[in-house]
Structure 1
Amino acid sequence: MGKIVVVGSSSIDLVVTSPKRPIAGETVIGESFHIVPGGKGANQAVAAARAGAKVEMVGAVGNDQFGDMVLDNFRKQGVSTKFMKSVTNESTGIAHIVIAEGDNSIVVVPGANSKVDRSLVDRAKEAIKDASVVLLQLEIPLDTVMYVADLCKKWEVPVILNPAPAKILPLELVEKVTYLTPNEHECRAIFRDCADVEKLLKRYPNKIILSEGSQGVRYFDGDRFVRVPALSVNVVDTTGAGDTFNGVFAVALSQGLPLKQAIRYGCVAASLSVTKLGAQGGMPAMEEIRKHVGDEY
């Protein structure tokens, strides 16, 4: 199995569960509160490690208690912290998550994640060059994402860009990455010139891998639209499902699996992940994923 390098965000999630999501000016009584490791980059790194890959995380935390929690969690999960930077006078990134009415709402405060810059990437250049797959997201500066994409294009290293939180992206970045993995909302936010998602999938065959929640994933293979289904499960918490998909999708690609099969592995992993609380709480091991993939894959 190859090596996965994740360049991205690390944070602590402050998770509240509630029967109802408050509207502006309203106070509601919640059911529970949890403090758990999170951040899209960290979640994807843990998902890949849980699925059996060797993972290097390139990121930053504050010199504070939450930063210690993030680094300790990486070590427990088998994710290398060699390229994690501790930043003084900056707090560790925080995500405030409300789980209510079968879905989640998230407010992200980047903190030290804004310090994931070119100089930090330069420290990890050899690891990136030797990677089987590099994972990127948008909770770190866009300049850093562009820089990593440039390096990977030069070195012919496959790149998965999970474009979240959604923003309009330079088309040159879309062209340079190997796979773009948005949901439908993110897809429309990235390409504001095109409200027709199917036209976008046709414009970027085998590149835009569109996540559609419980319906699974859809893409255009050059000849036809392909849907890869998710599992039917009892949903507890959808936080981190997309990150689980991306991490395991990367692992499957690093093993040399064909695109459709690699996507199925990611879909199964994401489905299993939502059956437990927390972004990382339900991330499955590869052995469990294989049990549910299906003979046709």
Structure 2
Amino acid sequence: MKFFVIGDVTVDHLYHLDHLPAPGEELAPTRATMKPGGAGGTISVTLARLGHTVTLAARVGDDPFAEYALQSVRESGVSQGAIQQDPEHLTSTITVMQTKGGQRAMISDGAANRQLDPAKLKKKDIEGSDALIVSAYSLTEGPQRDYTLKAIETARGAKKPVPVFIDLGTGAVNKVGTDLIGNVSGADYLTLNQHELLALTNTASISAALAQLGAAGARRVVVKVGKMGSIVWTPTETELVDAIKPEGKVVDSTGAGDTFTAAFAHAVLTGQPLAQAARTANAAGALAATRVGAQARPITLADLEAALAR
């Protein structure tokens, strides 16, 4: 299968702490690492490792971090034909602070990614793909938003329409709020976590939030609900899909949601029914959390088969 992915590539600075710092407090981390990350990078790398042909649209700076941000992208064989270099803005970075109890705080800079030039989008790349996958961070602001909207319009208007997967992100929802509904509800498949769902719809319950998305035109929604697994919703049915317990200790959830989305798209396009595709995605997300770093745990078809068999 051929996928076209639009999303950020970043350098992630990961700090594991006993607790999140209070204002003015200085802490020593129990572990500190630097890894390639970003939703676009992680989704594309995961798909490539699962055997697909992937093109990633992202933008990096003309700086030392660019090479590192794209390290896993290059190693996994993702096409860089739609990667742009920005002469003025730096490669995006994210600082992630995470505790053993699951608390997390992040500092992110969209930087070069937000400058993705829509004039460089090649419609044939979208029309020749089997699916378009979009990280909602790409819909927040700047030229990258224009690029992404143009790509979605191209996918929908293609002679053979290209299915569109959109994955939400907490930062994207916090920045745009309920106004984001108009851009994402028309996706063929929408994936997001529970917090993002409630914030996106400004509701207090999952059922009310899903009803609102349905009224806005959503067709297929998958809600990631952590240790409970995921919820698959369509206008005619709702199903809770149990979590898959990974072989190995969960050490870092960075990128697990992006890995989930990639595996879900893989499963859908290889013919799995919606609930089974969500189960496959549950397994992939759980496996990703057993290594430090969004792209550190290579996930193969054999890995998924073994996890699902358990």
TM-score computed with the length of structure 2 as normaliser? 0.88
Does the CA-based 8 Å contact 2:16-2:100 persist in structure 1? Answer: no
Instruction: Verify: 1:158 aligned to 2:157, yes or no.
Output: no
Partner in structure 2 of residue 211 of structure 1: 224
- The one of 266, 274, 283 aligned to 1:259: 274
Whole-angstrom CA distance in 1 between matches of 2:204 and 2:189: 20
Instruction: Verify: 1:200 aligned to 2:215, yes or no.
Output: no
The worse-fitting range, judged by mean Cα deviation, of 89-98 and 25-34 is: 25-34
The worse-fitting range, judged by mean Cα deviation, of 257-266 and 196-205 is: 196-205
Does the CA-based 8 Å contact 2:194-2:225 persist in structure 1? Answer: yes
1:170 Cα deviation after fit: 4.3
Gaps spanning 5+ residues in structure 1: where? none
Partner in structure 1 of residue 67 of structure 2: 68
1:220 Cα deviation after fit: 2.5
Residue type at the aligned position of 1:32: R
- List aligned pairs for 1:166-245, cutoff 5 A: 166=173, 167-168=176-177, 169-192=179-202, 194-202=203-211, 203-204=213-214, 206-233=219-246, 234-245=249-260
Does the CA-based 8 Å contact 1:206-1:219 persist in structure 2? Answer: no
Partner in structure 2 of residue 112 of structure 1: 112
SS of residue in 1 equivalent to 2:254: coil
Does the CA-based 8 Å contact 1:241-1:270 persist in structure 2? Answer: yes
SS of residue in 2 equivalent to 1:281: coil
Whole-angstrom CA distance in 2 between matches of 1:127 and 1:20: 45
Does the CA-based 8 Å contact 1:8-1:116 persist in structure 2? Answer: no
Whole-angstrom CA distance in 1 between matches of 2:181 and 2:244: 33
1:173 Cα deviation after fit: 2.0
Q: Which runs of 4+ in 1 moved over 6 A?
A: none
Whole-angstrom CA distance in 2 between matches of 1:209 and 1:198: 13
Whole-angstrom CA distance in 1 between matches of 2:74 and 2:183: 32
Does the CA-based 8 Å contact 1:4-1:251 persist in structure 2? Answer: no
Number of aligned positions between the proteins: 291
Does the CA-based 8 Å contact 1:5-1:134 persist in structure 2? Answer: yes
Whole-angstrom CA distance in 1 between matches of 2:195 and 2:277: 23
Whole-angstrom CA distance in 1 between matches of 2:234 and 2:168: 20
TM-score computed with the length of structure 1 as normaliser? 0.91
Q: Given the superposition, is the C-alpha separation of residues 139 and 223 from structure 1 closer, same or farther in structure 2, using an over 3 Å criterion?
A: closer
Does the CA-based 8 Å contact 2:232-2:278 persist in structure 1? Answer: no
